[in-house]
Amino acid sequence: MGAGYGGLVAALKLAKGTPAGSVDITLVNKYDYHQLVTQLYEPAAAAKRDTEVRIPLKKLLAGKPIRFVQDVVTKIDPKEKVVTLEGGELSYDYLVVALGSETEYFGIPGMKEYGMTLKSVDEARLIRTHIERCFAEYPLDPRPELLTFVVGGAGLTGIELVGEIADWLPRLCEESNIPREQVTLYNVEAMPSILPGFEPDLVAKAEEVLKAKGVIFKVGSPIVQVEPGAVHLKDGAVIQSRTIIWTGGVRGNQIVVDAGFETEPRGRAKVNEYLQAVGYDDVYMAGDCCFVLNEQGRPYPPTAQLAIQMGNSVAHNLAADLQGRPKTPFVPKILGTVASLGGRDAVGKVGNNYKASGRVAYFIKDLSQIRYLAKIGALMK
């Protein structure tokens, strides 16, 4: 269930790693395409077309022994081994749950109602067209809140998005004949610094690059309320804005919680060393809907690279189960983290020691994307 990074890789690898005709694989997904979620900030800021970040599943799965069902999963009953979809039911011998994460709103009043999020190609399009509309409306009705944009959260999603929007603004201004000085782009972060958890020199580099592009950071001031046209911060400041894009955090998937799987407070399911759900040997999990612990005993951050590795491991262990071979414990290998800063600029860390910035960091990020596309067989298609 789920054709995101974890689910798609699991299905493809299982199909490849088992003798033809020995397994019957069904892949269920809400959309008829695989989304390159790590790239969504680009179509959101008109740096790529939507079609460049979605890969039609029909094309991707052509010739593969995988039955694709486009439907929405609404319920899992692991005791009865049944999955309910909007359009029917499926029963299974083995289930792979790879349903991804949901937005965490932390109960901030108005955020869910008035904030936009960036979790799908459709949402990226909404952000892009909303910003374009603000620029189109302004010359006819010159209210400053139309040209004031707020990105809430300066984690990786917020930083990548704000960088790409900052790069887009000069073009938007030129097209609409609006001076750049009339446009304000805020990035609000609750913690004392942007990119919490990143090393200070990388944070400083990111801040320098983004400030030079005109991003205004408000750190140490959580957003506490959103209403139409206004974003309220804890320090009492009110930003008059028609645009709030929320990138303040993610949580597990409610369907997984409702199914009764053992979960942590943020809704991610607990799995054993083989990525099986606690108490269910016939349910494997991959990606953001579950978690594994690092050496310090803290959950690894939910990332695409982790989901891909989990998908691989799930397919390996499931095939081992079917063929009566011993399973292999999942050991993540985090290759690094790179944050795009808009255009061809980025900062990040590769391995344990190598830090990169600028075009080199961007190139590393691009390379990992190409590697992934090659792995799922999307490059040639």
* CB of 156 or CB of 289, closer to ligand NAD: 156
* CB of 283 or CB of 341, closer to ligand NAD: 341
Beta bridge partners of 83: 76, 90
Position with the least CB separation from ligand NAD: 155
Compute the 3-state secondary structure of the chain and give helix, strand, coil in percent, each to the nearest 5: 35, 25, 40
- State the nearest-atom distance from the C-beta of 221 to ligand NAD, in Å: 7
Q: List the catalytic residue out of 42, 160, 164, 189.
A: 160
Long-range contacts of 329-335 (CB under 8 A, 24+ apart): 329/273, 329/274, 330/273, 330/274, 330/275, 330/292, 332/292, 332/294, 332/300, 332/306, 333/309, 334/300, 334/305, 334/306, 335/305, 335/368
Is residue 13 within 8 Å of residue 35, measured between CB atoms?
no
Going by C-beta distance under 8 Å and a sequence separation of 6 or more, which residues neighbour residue 244? 111, 114, 115, 116, 150, 152, 223, 226, 231
Sign of the dihedral defined by the CA atoms of residues 223, 225, 230, 232, in that order? negative
Is residue 224 within 8 Å of residue 76, measured between CB atoms?
no
Catalytic-residue membership of 295:
no
* CB of 25 or CB of 275, closer to ligand NAD: 275
* CB of 19 or CB of 107, closer to ligand NAD: 107
Of 1, 33, 17, 35, whose CA–CA distance to 304 is shortest? 35
Residues engaged in binding ligand NAD (CB under 6 A): 38, 106, 108, 152-158, 160, 188-191, 196, 222-223, 247-250, 301-303, 337-339
H helix count then E strand count, the chain: 10, 23
Sign of the dihedral defined by the CA atoms of residues 79, 84, 90, 95, in that order? negative
How far apart (Å, rounded) are the C-alpha atoms in residues 187 and 205?
16
- State the nearest-atom distance from the C-beta of 1 to ligand NAD, in Å: 20
* CB of 312 or CB of 337, closer to ligand NAD: 337
The structure tokens 């809400």 sit at 30
* CB of 104 or CB of 132, closer to ligand NAD: 104
Burial of 183 (0-12, 13-18, 19+ CB in 10 A): buried
End-to-end Cα, the chain, rounded Å: 23
The structure tokens 């937005």 sit at 103
Q: Output the six-digit token pair for 131.
A: 């910003």
- State the nearest-atom distance from the C-beta of 173 to ligand NAD, in Å: 27
* CB of 197 or CB of 228, closer to ligand NAD: 197
The structure tokens 């929405």 sit at 72
Catalytic positions are 160
